[in-house]
Amino acid sequence: MKIRWTIVRAILSSAVLLGTVFAPTRTVIFTSALTALAASPAPDAKTVLKQLIEGARKEGQVDLFLEPTGSQQVVQSFRQYLQEKFDLQIKINLDPTGRSDVKTSQAVGETMQGIPPTYDVQFDGSHNIIQLLEVKGVKRIDNLEQLLSEIAPQALPVLDKISPGPFRGRAFTFGDWIKAIIYNPKLISAAELPKTHKELADPKYKGMFALPPWTSDATASILVYNNEEALDIIKGIGANKAATEVESNAINRMLLGEFKFVDANAHYYNQYKAKDPNSPIGVAFFRDYTTVNESMYFVREGARHPNAATLFVFWTLSERGNQDFEKAAFTPSLYLPSSKTGQEIRKQIKTNNVRLVSFFDNEESMNKLRWMATADGKKFLERLSEAWRGGRK
């Protein structure tokens, strides 16, 4: 229980003064006062939710920077939810332009300069949000458990997974970017695919695949291998690649027969299958490590419309919100039980004994992330990134 220390100091002062006259009763007075404070009940969940709704009603709008895929459908679903559940209508301003890394850097700058946030809600990967967290640019949600119990009860049992470590109560995983092998089964069978990143470095795969320009999959190698071994593996992978291409473009080129497979996020498989069930596309996972990047929504510290913003973030964690979001954006959640795609991926991962890794799995992993921010860590990352892009060895 959180004690109001201004009240406690007043009680202490009173107890000391009273003690000069009634010394034997001083301890009793102070203990009784603390007991009374401790006995005051926590806010009722329904009351807290009602206050949030009324706060959103007064605010009248919310400014969202959303994952661009399916963002218009997501907004429409959220608008319907507010109307049907709370008889609440607010103006929803949407920026679907993408480049979340740029927006997070902008948010860091705003926070450091004391400029009011451009958005109430933003999304990004956990590896970028941590920078904004460090400058205190992400709002902590008060009455977290009470609100989740009313809006998204399925999120409570997995709170440590969807709001892990330093993000607890501040940023929430609405979906997971899960690295995968997206392949063309007309050009290569599942059995012929590399099973590990070490195998991908084998010369027999030279010229068969494309890599994205971002290096999150390469960086995660240090969670499994020692630094020098990881660097050797990534050098081999970089030397074997046919091209560096953003994931969506690489998949289109793969479907045209230019590549046999690509390194991309798993949700592209579902996205392309939704467009055309007969698309020649399959999905598999590396077994030595499969990188998970938490894709999170968060409320900005100093948000102009914090109540409406909190409603949106928690709605994405609800059964209805998660399913609506997954239908629009295809991004699975590994831990929310309502995510059908996420549950299918978990089964596949378990069947194939795939190792999932994230920099926020545990303290040891987070220490490696902290090391990467040091001078030595940055130098190593430069070498790793150069190797991933096929630079000098």
Average pLDDT over residues 287-316: 95
| Amino acid present at 288 | D
Residues paired with 65 in a beta bridge: 95
Looking at residue 113, what DSSP letter applies?
H
What domains are defined for the chain? 5-39 (no CATH), 45-175+295-333 (3.40.190.10), 177-293+344-388 (3.40.190.10)
> Are 69 and 308 in contact, with CB atoms under 8 Å apart?
no
Q: Which residue has the higher pLDDT, 349 or 36?
A: 349
Q: Binning pLDDT at 50, 70 and 90, where does residue 337 land?
A: very high
Q: Binning pLDDT at 50, 70 and 90, where does residue 373 land?
A: confident
**Residue 8: per-residue pLDDT:** 31
Given a cut of 60, whether residue 34 has pLDDT beyond it is no
CB atoms within 10 A of CB 59: 19
b/e per residue 7-37 (b: at least 16 CB within 10 A): eeeebeeebeeeeeeeeeebeeebeebeeee
The helix, strand and coil proportions of the chain, stated in percent and rounded to the nearest 5, come to: 55, 15, 30
Given a cut of 70, whether residue 1 has pLDDT beyond it is no
Average pLDDT over residues 316-342: 91
Q: Binning pLDDT at 50, 70 and 90, where does residue 127 land?
A: confident
Ranking 69-73, 205-209, 225-229, 239-243 by mean pLDDT, the lowest is 69-73
Distance CA 348, CA 345 (A): 5
In whole angstroms, how far apart are CA 256 and each of 253, 259, 279, 291?
5, 8, 11, 27
pTM recorded for the entire structure: 0.81
**Residue 40: per-residue pLDDT:** 55
Tens digits of residue pLDDT in 157-176 = 999 999 998 999 999 999 99
Tens digits of residue pLDDT in 258-287 = 999 999 999 999 889 988 999 999 999 999
What is the H or E stretch that residue 86 is in?
A: helix 71-86
**Burial (CB count within 10 angstroms: exposed 0-12, middle 13-18, buried 19+), residue 190:** exposed
Tens digits of residue pLDDT in 49-93 = 999 999 999 999 999 999 888 889 999 999 999 999 999 999 999
